[in-house]
Chains A and B, each alone.
Chain A
Amino acid sequence: MGKIFAIAKLSVLELFRKKDVYVAIVLALVAIVPLAVVNAFGIEGAVRYIREVALLLVWGFSVIICVTTSARQIPNETQRKTILPLLAKPVSRAQIALGKTLGSIIASWGALAMFYGCYIVIAGLKSGIWIEPVLLQSVILHACFAALACSMTVCGSLALTPSANITACLLIIAGGLLFGDHLPDLINKAPGLFRPPLIGLEYVLPRFELFDLRARVIHSHAPVPAGVFLFILLYGAAYSAVFMGLAAGLFKRKQY
């Protein structure tokens, strides 16, 4: 595990030292702070719109950070030729793939922690409510989503070119989050010929929208039942494990 964590630590250091994440946070703050200060029609008291906009930005930027960070983990090693001394060390390909995935997951979690920190401060100052149980659930499921997105992207980076991988992963994740819950409906309405591929998509692709509790947080609904919450966490963990296994297998077959 020590070797996996050493590789993971390197990925985290890279994300924070290259400062991409700070740019994202500044951009998010530039969008949210003016909204939080201005009141519609000069009437104070609206809070939910701030939660809505802030959470939308948190999710948007987290998707971008997860995908772009994970997508460049292994291809960057190849591109800058650091892969050769790395592979020459007494470390297995599986350990490298797991370390790179874990690194991008921890880096994304670090970015998420910073984003949610800003969110809690802004929404808290506006509403006077700081942390609700449903927000905690939402953050945990978001972290699980980030792990799944990173694992999928690292796996994709071993099968596709970086640009194709980023495009595919962004489309799959954004498509899932925006339209995922309409997929069953789409299948019901699709003509016969289109049904099998759509049903295939429904069962093969991870259901990213399950991890999104934004609507419950925005409207201060009760937390999700514990059983459902745990099931979604396990679902995310299982999918992440599958992608990590696939990544290790694909990396093992690569020749440098």
Chain B
Amino acid sequence: MIRWIFILLWLGTLAGGQRLVTIRRRQTVGGGDVITRIFGESRALISARMLHKADRYFHGGVMLDNCDYLHGHAHHHEHTDDCGHGVDVDDEALARPAATGDDHYAGAGWYRRLILNTRPAGHTHLSTVREVKELLPWFRLATRLDPHNVQGYDVGAYWLAEKVNAPAKALALIDEGITHNPEAFELALTKGELLMETDPAAADSALAAAEKKWLAARKKFEEGEAYPPHLSPPEFALMERIQVYRAKCMLDLGRREQAIAFFQRALAVSDNKTALQERIRELSSQTNGWAPPPSDH
């Protein structure tokens, strides 16, 4: 009997997964592997849960919906340390949903008090190398379960490179992601970002690829063509970032004129023009001539 119950539950989960996941999937490298056969389309859902799990781990087991620090990095956004809800939240404060943003426990008073005391409380971020390693298994699982989980590759590579000091492993992960998601400009962008300090030429090459993919994506987006939902929307802010990074690579390679040209391109798509104009002025005053930017697309 038990066996039948579990078979039913399992089938239910898979059927639910099939219905819920509306992502149009492409034929992928390794698409016929064991994981795909076992989990089917529901693997995308499970993979997304793995990323949530990493988020929860990052907060020491506390689920804080309005603190998207982990994913903030993936989208290359800035993060405020307190996520708007205070760094050191004591139990009493946690008992007030409004103070924490955690309004899951809006039940009877006695139950609220008990459940809050049995769950991890307080707002912490894992910070030491040893602590941050706790997140890695979830990124590995997320990307293994769903090779189209672009965010999993992106965020995983960030933590590997920046927090665990394993840039080679971060690059390997990004390369794996690029293989599975050749259209994902954000992965090429992250690759360029990872290479900037050690190999500006290679970084520029990766960023050039990112730019090319962004333009292709933008074209599809503007023409109203079907756009894969697992990829980030081709926002101008990301194009600006690509151009700024390329400019920095040029500066590292001693090509000031080309750097200015990339800053100019960034200026064209930027919302915040003042800082870029200032930077261009500063560089132009140091240079004698002007050369056109390399044409790589």
Direct contact of A and B (CB under 8 A): yes
Contact between B120 and A210 (Cβ–Cβ < 8 Å)? no
**Is A140 positioned at the interface, with any CB of B under 8 Å from its CB?**
no
**Is B173 positioned at the interface, with any CB of A under 8 Å from its CB?**
yes
Docked complex Cα distance between A224 and B139 (Å)? 30
Contact between B5 and A166 (Cβ–Cβ < 8 Å)? yes
**Is B117 positioned at the interface, with any CB of A under 8 Å from its CB?**
yes
User: Which of B78-86, B128-136, B210-218, B253-261 is the contact stretch?
Assistant: B128-136
Contact between B119 and A210 (Cβ–Cβ < 8 Å)? no
Docked complex Cα distance between A47 and B130 (Å)? 10
A154-168 residues with Cβ-Cβ distance < 8 A to B are 162-163, 166-167
Docked complex Cα distance between A121 and B107 (Å)? 38
User: Which of A77-85, A90-98, A178-186, A247-255 is the contact stretch?
Assistant: A178-186
Docked complex Cα distance between A210 and B105 (Å)? 12
Docked complex Cα distance between A187 and B104 (Å)? 11
Distance in Å: Cβ of B8 to nearest Cβ of chain A:
9
B134-161 vs A, CB cutoff 8 Å, 1 = contact: the mask equals: 1011111100000000000000000010
Distance in Å: Cβ of A198 to nearest Cβ of chain B:
11
Docked complex Cα distance between A185 and B103 (Å)? 8
**Is B275 positioned at the interface, with any CB of A under 8 Å from its CB?**
no
Contact between A212 and B61 (Cβ–Cβ < 8 Å)? no
**Is B10 positioned at the interface, with any CB of A under 8 Å from its CB?**
no
**Is A213 positioned at the interface, with any CB of B under 8 Å from its CB?**
yes
B107-121 vs A, CB cutoff 8 Å, 1 = contact: the mask equals: 110011111011111
User: Which residues of chain B are within 8 angstroms of A48 by Cβ–Cβ distance?
Assistant: 57, 134
Docked complex Cα distance between A39 and B139 (Å)? 12
User: Which residues of chain B are within 8 angstroms of A41 by Cβ–Cβ distance?
Assistant: 136, 140, 160, 166, 169, 173
Specify the main secondary structure of chain A where it touches its partner. helix
Q: How many residues of A contact B (CB 8 A)?
A: 41
Contact between A185 and B106 (Cβ–Cβ < 8 Å)? yes
**Is A2 positioned at the interface, with any CB of B under 8 Å from its CB?**
no
**Is A29 positioned at the interface, with any CB of B under 8 Å from its CB?**
no
Docked complex Cα distance between A43 and B103 (Å)? 36
A39-50 vs B, CB cutoff 8 Å, 1 = contact: the mask equals: 011111111110
Docked complex Cα distance between A79 and B63 (Å)? 48
**Is A225 positioned at the interface, with any CB of B under 8 Å from its CB?**
yes
Distance in Å: Cβ of A133 to nearest Cβ of chain B:
14
Contact A225 to B134, CB < 8 A, known contacts A184-B107, A187-B107: no
Docked complex Cα distance between A57 and B60 (Å)? 21
Distance in Å: Cβ of B148 to nearest Cβ of chain A:
19
Docked complex Cα distance between A166 and B103 (Å)? 33
Residue among A40, A221, A231 making CB contact with B120, cutoff 8 Å:
A221
Contact A46 to B61, CB < 8 A, known contacts A184-B105, A202-B107, A228-B114: no
Report which B residues bind A (CB closer than 8 A). Answer: 1-2, 5, 53, 57, 60-61, 103-108, 111-115, 117-121, 130, 133-134, 136-141, 160, 164, 166, 169, 173
Give 11 CB contacts A-B under 8 Å. Answer: A46-B134, A46-B137, A49-B138, A68-B2, A166-B5, A202-B108, A209-B115, A216-B120, A221-B61, A224-B117, A228-B118
